[in-house]
Amino acid sequence: MTKSPPDDPLVILRHWQEAVPHDRLAHLVRDASRALARALSERLAAHDVSFGHWTFLRALWEQDGVTQKDLSRQVGVMEPTTFAAVKAMEAKGYVVRRQRAANRKNVYVHLTRQGRALERKLVPLAEAVNHIGVAGIDPRDVAMTRTVLLALLANLARDAATSPAAPAPPPVPR
């Protein structure tokens, strides 16, 4: 008998339907996010792009030529993680790193022609995963879910800004 991996969507769904149907919303959102990420990762792999690189590429498609530090903030990861990802993407030919003569301290990340061309190939994959995820769901329910999740993010952003030990502001949602 083959054991299903822990991120198998059927295992996760059965868990929510049978074991913990009233568990915290945060867990449900995390599991839904993991299922979407897994589905997209499988499709990205066919183009030799990891899910981690996808997040950086998405940010660069929206704003090319940012510093590694700003890219870290936009993606919501620590700078060493960004350094490793950018180095790997540079080796694949997706980005180049440059310093400006006026400020040799900052390293700017720029898409190459190959990195820019990936947008036309990869964005439709993400759109397809989203369509699969909402298949059979009334569009009004999808719109309401989006409204609720945005309100949840706004509430948590307000909480972070007003709590005594407020952490750094969260990355801008995409």
pLDDT at 24: 75
Instruction: Dig out the tokens for 133 from the structure.
Output: 């995820």
CATH code matching the domain that covers 49-160, chosen among 1.10.10.10, 1.10.3660.10, 3.10.129.10, 3.40.50.80: 1.10.10.10
Q: What backbone torsions phi and psi does residue 151 show, to the nearest 5 degrees?
A: -65, -40
Provide the pLDDT for residue 1.
Answer: 45
pLDDT of residue 124: 98
- Pick out the chain residues at pLDDT < 50: 1
pLDDT of residue 167: 56
Beta bridge partners of 110: 96
pLDDT score for 169? 62
Nearest to 30 by CA among 46, 50, 6: 6
Among the listed residues 104, 99, 60, 62, the one whose alpha carbon sits nearest the alpha carbon of residue 82: 60
What pLDDT does 26 receive?
83
Tell me what pLDDT residue 80 has.
93
Distance of alpha carbon 9 from alpha carbon 1, whole angstroms: 18
What per-residue confidence (pLDDT) applies to 31? 84
**CA–CA dist 117, 115 (Å, integer):** 5
pTM for the whole structure? 0.76
